[in-house]
Chain A
Amino acid sequence: MSFTSRAADYVDWKRGQISREIYVSEEVYRQELETLFTRAWLFVGHESQIPNPGDFFTSRMGEESVILVRDKAGEIHVFLNSCRHRGMKVCRYESGNTSLFTCPYHSWTYTTDGRIRGIPLYKALYEGNLDRDDWSLIEVAKLHNYKGTIWATWDPQAPDFLTYLGDAKLHLDQALDCRDGRPGGSEVIGVHKWIFPANWKFAAENFLGDTYHNPSHRSVDMIGIGPSALQGVKGRRDNEMEEAQHIWCSFPAGHGVHSAIQPEGYEFVDTFKNDPEIGQYFRHCHEERKRRLGENARFLPFVGTLFPNTSYHGRQPRSLCSWHPHSANETEGWRFFLVDADAPTKVKDFLREYYMRYSGPAGMTEQDDLENWLYATRASTGTIARRHNFNYAQSMGASSLNPVVNGIEVKGDVSLQVTEHMAVGFYRRWAQYLDREPWDVLLGAGDERFHAQAAE
């Protein structure tokens, strides 16, 4: 079935209304696979998962399996995990170290840089009819290693990753940089993988900064599961942003984040009180970070989604999550948990226990999100339901371009109150991918929010 509608017709951004079709229609879903997941930059994995030559980690891009591998010369590649002969999945291990990928079907072999090493009976059966150099594993068009996180796209025309990331970079940095402000330095300590019956966009949208869904988490907030809960502190995190101005930012490429800016002259907020030694460690990180970053240390991350399906939790807890599509109403979540690679073992142990009780399908917080996404998808599939739009009018018109907040200029279309304008921005871009718009449009060229002058 080909996509005959215009996706833009589903997204009435002027009134803040979006058709339910985009969450339930198989036709829309097929078009997402065709024109969105084949073009956008997607998160594939982390350098720390493949530290040595020959190390690999099998990942996903859209619906398809890919292999993230460091070749024997140390270079990182991403290949489609499908043999060039008859398509057999060449690697069915999740991770490991190898010098060859041997296809189980007819035993073609590929080296870690994707080239064919061997074709059984080549001389007798293929000589003269098949040039081995033409039949390497299919490789992504572009790949970028950003502070250890590996991103890839199938589109050779795609802009480079940093252009794509734009001003969302500052916010993603807060999740990827060391707690004491040194750039990068994170490692992945495990990946939760689970499959659930909901459209992938519910999850992606949630992490754009849907602060309004707080009531879902009332149960954990009542009982307290945060890093200071043993001291009787309620809530699911330490509240280190009580004095801060929260900011909700939408970016031209469709990304959205919720961060916060501490006031000038702010002090360390006592956190991680379950263990004084851990508390002391984070106080030290705080002071180092302040020293290194100066005024920029006042930026604190909360959550964000990098268009289309990579979300992060920047601080408490700390992880990256890919929402891999399986069908219009099925998504596979992969949550990559992050710590500073050089943090003391005791700190890592403290953090991982907190992450596990908060996040993922066994996490006391995330479980309630999953319940929402499942039943929101299911209750939107009906014929009558599909005739009625979702409402995204929250805080419409309350955002502005590059405002100064607590003395710092914040880039993007920014709201200082709880809002859904990031979701509207996300779906405006989403529709343009489905409608096969060119890259300048996908980067926000026609979006009046980011071109105040031109619009006047």
Chain B
Amino acid sequence: MDAVQTDPKLRRDPAYFALRAEIEEFFYDEAECLDTRRFEEWLGMLHEDLRYFMPMRHNVKFGQHDERENSREDYGISWFNEDKWTVSKRVEQILTGVHYAEEPLSRTTHMITNVQVQTALPSVEAADEITTSCRFLTYLNRVEYETYFFVGKRYDRLKKVGGEWKVLHRRIILDQNVLQAKNLSTFF
């Protein structure tokens, strides 16, 4: 269920690699914003109709993974399942300076790798809406000894608005069942 690729794989030609490079650059810009705590600037990279979703991962029997491994976007509880207003509230909360779970601020490094473009509309050459997959490794260290690694996959839908890419839909697949962290106080 993680790697939903029903469309035929895009041809790996120069136009594809150019588009991929553009998207990689976009993801690196996001990471740079987050890791240098330019949170408001990062919000600007998100589409107004954003859906930001991180399911919980369940231990299920072989054969049930498609159906039951991940909590659902349209029903029940997940780690995150929110719109741009809520993500913006999270930024606003950090900027109060009294959100003690992020005060003092954590040190983070967001790494993005294995970037692939899965679909591109209307075409790779003239793409203004695409879906992508990638892997992330997010390192978070706070105060003195608290250190967490968040590792997983990310499936994004990006759309061009006024010539700039914006994240329209983000599905974050964290490879953990019981969350191995006291908080999810960073962005993905």
Contact = CB atoms under 8 A, between A and B. Distances in A.
Contacts of A337: 76-77
Given A230-B85, A337-B77, 19 more contacts: A93-B59, A189-B75, A191-B77, A193-B177, A193-B178, A194-B179, A195-B180, A197-B182, A198-B182, A225-B89, A229-B89, A356-B82, A361-B183, A362-B79, A364-B93, A364-B99, A367-B99, A371-B183, A375-B143
Max chain A Cβ within 10 angstroms of own Cβ: one of B61, B68, B76, B90: B76
Interface stretch (A73-81, A213-221, A290-298, A422-430): A213-221
A190 B76 contact: yes
A275 to B, nearest CB: 13
A13 to B, nearest CB: 30
Contact of A364 (B79, B90, B177): B90
Interface string A351-390: 0110111001110100110111011000000000000000
A343 interface: no
A371 B96 contact: no
Contacts of B143: 375
B180 A96 contact: no
B184 interface: yes
Interface of B: 54, 56, 58-61, 64, 68, 71, 75-82, 85-86, 89-90, 92-93, 96, 98-102, 143, 146, 177-185
Nearest to A337: B77
Nearest to B93: A219
Interface in A188-220: 189-198, 216, 218-220
Contact of A194 (B80, B93, B102, B178): B178
Contact of A352 (B76, B102, B178, B185): B76
The secondary structure that dominates the B interface is loop
B56 A223 contact: no
Contacts of A355: 77
Residue from A195, A222, A364 with most neighbouring chain B CB atoms (10 Å): A364
Contact of A95 (B58, B76, B86, B93): B58
A92 interface: yes
Contact of A367 (B56, B58, B183): B183
B58 A370 contact: no
A362 B183 contact: yes
A332 interface: yes
A220 B95 CA distance: 11
A94 interface: yes
A364 B100 CA distance: 10
21 contacts: A93-B59, A96-B61, A190-B76, A191-B77, A192-B79, A195-B182, A196-B181, A219-B93, A225-B89, A337-B77, A355-B77, A356-B82, A360-B79, A361-B183, A364-B99, A368-B99, A368-B101, A370-B101, A370-B182, A370-B183, A371-B182
